Structure formats: structure tokens, C-alpha cells
Amino acid sequence: MEQLIIQLVSGAVGGNVAGGLLKNLSLGTLGNSIAGIVGGGLGGQILSMVTGGAADPAAGMDIGAIVTQVAGGGVGGGVALAVVGVIKNMMNKS
């Protein structure tokens, strides 16, 4: 459960950082946070499966697991924001 919370919070931060850096894709603070939370959850879970972190729940919360969750959540949140921002911009051009 703690891993999911770390992923979601990191995703929200990653979405807002990406929105700040990519002004043309920004959805506003709330939109950036929502896209980041969704992307953070998905990105963190995918990264955990790839690295094997989700396969062993008895491994505990060592620093490596926490860093993996933060990185996966943050990157996933930023990527989700970029994808949603591009789709939003494409729909506005029509």
C-alpha cells in the first residue's frame, strides 16, 4: 500500500513538473495533478513489474524500492501529462 501512495504522489509531482516545463502541454495545476496521478500509478506499477519489485512483497521498503517507486511514478506522471496535453492540443486544432 505504501508503494502505491509513493507512486501516486510522485506522479502528481511529475505531472506538475512536466506541466511547468512544457507550457504548451500544461493542463493547469489540477489537470496536471490528475494526469500525473493516473500516470504515476500506471508507470510505477509497470516499472515495479519490470524490475521485479512487485513480485516480492516481503522485500520491504528499502531505499532502492523507494527510489524505484519515486522514479517510476514521476516519469509515468510526466509521460501521461505529455500524452494528454498532445491529445488536447490536437483536438483544439480541429
Cβ-contact 74, 14 below 8 angstroms = yes
pLDDT on residue 71:
87
Residues 6+ apart with CB under 8 A from 29: 16, 19
pLDDT on residue 17:
94
Block means of pLDDT (10 residues each) for the chain, 94 residues, are: 88 93 92 93 82 57 83 90 93 83
Chain-centre distance of CA 82, in angstroms?
11
Is the pTM higher than 0.85? The answer reads: no
pLDDT on residue 60:
63
pLDDT on residue 55:
45
